[in-house]
Amino acid sequence: MSRRTLAESYEKIPTHIFPNSGAAAKALAAEVKALIEERAKEGKNVVLGMATGSTPVPFYRELIRLHKEEGLSFKNVITFNLDEYYGLTGDHPESYACFMREQIFDHIDIPKANINIPSGTVPGDQVFAHCREYEEKIDAAGGIDFQILGIGRTGHIGFNEPGSSRDSLTRRITLDRVTRQDAAADFRGEENVPHFAITMGVGTILRGKKLVLMAWGENKAEMVAKAVEGPVTEAISASFLQDHPDARFCIDEGASRELTRVKLPWLVGPVSWTPRETRRAVCWQAFKTNRPVLKLTDEHYNEHGLSDLLSEQGPAYQLNIRIFNQLQHTITGWPGGKPNEDDTYRPERATPYPKRVLVFSPEPQDAIVAMGSTIERLVEQGHDVRIVALTSGSLRISDSEADKFAGTLQELAGVVEDSPAWQSQVAYAREVLKQLEDKGEFGEDTPMLRQLKGLILRGELRDAAHACNVGTDHVTFLGLPFYEQGRYRRFKSTEADIEALTSLLREHKPHQIYATGDAADPSSVSGICFKLLESSLKACHKEEWAGSASLWLYRGKEKPLAAHEIDMAVPLSPMQLERKARALSRYGSLSSLELSSPESNRQNASHYDALGLAEYEAIETFQRWSRV
């Protein structure tokens, strides 16, 4: 069987892996353009099924570009959106109606009458009729020709949460807890996320003639693999696409990582045994058989489809020792390099010493969460460590924290003796409280509120950095403009961002850089920050410092690095882990995922232990970033 056929035997939905979301969006938009133009020539309409969320944003941007630069007209296009939050009016900033206007409809020439989105405000006793009419309208338009889909962490398409049946139609649904958690940042807190939505059903979606599900970033990888390779099940509504004659997945490399052909390529066909693939296979073999690397035998490799590797690099005894040594050499208590020591087998070079180290944190908590103990060690070992918060992170801070601050300020003015001198502070506090009240629970933060919330987070980072022995003068707040002007899922970076970052790099000329976001959804804050950093480094690549700087990636909100992906493992003692947890406690706004970072550090250690390496309490992990 050819490689493709073997892959297909695992993948029950045709799946195209693109190098990045931009390339996928371009290809899909070109396909839609061709369809629209072909129908226009015939004097016919096209019916498009639209999705919201982060995923379709690059696709919509490309459609807008095609309209503006290549004259693509949407006059013959009718659209039906998949879903809408129940309880939000169409002008609520987080409603999907508002999202669609901002992201596409306001920028193209589609007739307003051709746009259909379920209503979020239809009274409870009319929901059923409204949903039935939505179905009828789709049929009356001739059915959906081209349906765009995203996939949620529950495996939902539209808002068809686990349990949705294959034949379900448009209806009101209760949102899953995971879905509400994922929307928490948009709504400034999980408590503000609506509990219900109106969504097209699985059956409605499957009536579409052509279905394309897009997914970007590693956080989608697990669900993509389950939907594409697993059984068809109500527990993952995207898996129903397996039953459709013209459905496909268009994903980026990050979202492809759990597919068998990517994760276990030797099961699918011949593999080019690069050092990384070899390490992957050996670690997989060890975990699968529950044996440390040094106890794997030729039989283990042969029985699990790795005879190829064995004949190229075996026998097992030698292969095991080689990989064991490689893994062993990733472990270092000297993340900045050990001065005056042979560094042949160390992850980081010994010279120069001390190093100028820049630790980039997309939002002010990311770096401490992922590498607080490594930061502490770098400082302890004499390096000049600077934490750079790339954005203010103001959108993470809830109204109640701003309210608490203003309330305290007012109270303070009431108890200090020299109260006339506090008049301006009192006026400030009053204004903050008034603006909070005026905007209401879901309203947009005013610049004054954003500034205050940013300052609250600044204080938290300073505090947490201090707990890692980084002084206030070594914490930089860059406040990249893209963040200040946007909202989650709708950020747009510009040259101004690259310029700010480039001049910071030129000012500090780092020997070592830590960053994150390479595996993230490209529209997330860390995804955008990573791209910006890549561009800035490219702009400086001819400068001497840039050519020799070592670059390390850490994982923030994304899946932790797997054992074979780790190039540097910094072990933590129980005391160090405790200190890290203390540093994290300085933040008032960490998500449950972020708070569980010490636990994930412990898991890294238990993976290394299982591979037969020394048993540590916890480990922070890094991957070498191949040069841009």
User: CA 400, CA 205: separation in Å to the nearest integer?
Assistant: 40
Least distance CB 120 / ligand F6R (angstroms): 13
- The DSSP bridge partners found for residue 331 are 569
187, HSE (Cβ side, Cα atoms, 13 Å): 21
Cβ-based nearer residue to ligand F6R, 106 or 578: 106
Distance CA 478, CA 581 (A): 26
* Closest CA relative to residue 103, chosen from 159, 148, 62: 62
Q: Please pick, from the candidates 118, 120, 155, 158, the single residue that binds ligand F6R as defined by CB under 6 A.
A: 158
Minimum Å gap between C-beta 406 and ligand F6R is: 32
Beta-carbon contacts of residue 135 (< 8 Å; ≥ 6 apart) = 169, 170, 204
Give the x-and-dash track for 598-617 against ligand F6R (CB under 6 A).
--------------------
**Cα(267)–Cα(580) distance, rounded to whole angstroms?**
40
Which residue number is nearest to ligand F6R in terms of Cβ? 150
> Closer to ligand F6R at the Cβ: 181 or 297?
181
Residue 165: partners with Cβ closer than 8 Å, 6 or more residues away: 202, 203, 234
- Residues numbered 68 to 97 that lie near ligand F6R (CB under 6 A) are 82-83
Q: Which residue lies nearer to ligand F6R by CB, 54 or 604?
A: 54
Q: Which of 11, 13, 47, 52 binds ligand F6R (CB under 6 A)?
A: 52
Residue from 51, 131, 358, 470 in contact with ligand F6R (CB under 6 A): 51
User: Which stretches within 553-596 are classed as H helix?
Assistant: 574-584, 592-595
Angle between helix axes 57-70 and 21-41 (nearest 10 degrees) is: 50
Q: C-beta of 159: minimal distance to ligand F6R in Å?
A: 6
Q: Which of 53, 337, 372, 598 binds ligand F6R (CB under 6 A)?
A: 53
* Of 26, 67, 156, 207, the one binding ligand F6R by CB under 6 A: 156
* Least separation in angstroms between CB 150 and ligand F6R: 2
Give residues 116-155 in contact with ligand F6R (rule: CB under 6 A): 150-152
Asked if residue 393 binds ligand F6R (CB under 6 A), the reply is: no
Question: Distance between alpha carbon 416 and the CA centroid of its chain, in Å?
Answer: 46
283 binds ligand F6R (CB under 6 A): no
* Cβ neighbours around 437 below 10 Å, total: 11
The verdict on 556 binding ligand F6R (CB under 6 A) reads no
Q: Cβ of residue 395: shortest distance to ligand F6R, in angstroms?
A: 15
Give the nearest distance from C-beta 55 to ligand F6R in angstroms: 3
The answer to whether 55 contacts ligand F6R (rule: CB under 6 A) is yes
Taking the least distance from each CB to ligand F6R, the nearer of 80 and 587 is 80
Which residues touch 212 (CB under 8 Å, ≥6 apart)?
28, 146, 147, 148, 149, 247, 248, 249, 250
The correct pick among 25, 32, 110, 157 for binding ligand F6R (CB under 6 A) is 157
Asked if residue 208 binds ligand F6R (CB under 6 A), the reply is no
200: left (phi over 0), alpha (psi -120 to 50) or beta: beta
C-alpha to C-alpha distance for 204 and 144, rounded to whole angstroms = 9
| Residue among 94, 161, 229, 565 flagged as catalytic | 161
| Helical residues (DSSP H) of 416-484, grouped into ranges | 423-439, 447-467, 481-484
543 as an active site residue: the answer is: no
In whole angstroms, what separates CA 44 from the centre of its chain? 39
User: One symbol per residue from 460 to 479: x for binding ligand F6R (CB under 6 A), - otherwise; what is it?
Assistant: --------------------
Structural contact between residues 335 and 556, judged by C-beta atoms closer than 8 angstroms: no
Report, in Å, the least distance between residue 143 CB and ligand F6R: 19
* 598: preceding bond cis by omega (within 30 degrees): no
**55 vs 79 by CB, closer to ligand F6R:** 55
3-state secondary structure of 483: helix
Q: Which is nearer to ligand F6R, 149 or 618 (CB)?
A: 149
Question: Would you say 53 or 347 has its CB closer to ligand F6R?
Answer: 53
Distance CA 579, CA 588 (A): 17
Residue 71, number of CB atoms within 10 A of its CB: 8
Where does this chain bind ligand F6R (CB under 6 A)? 51-55, 82-83, 150-152, 156-159
User: Which residues are the active-site residues?
Assistant: 161
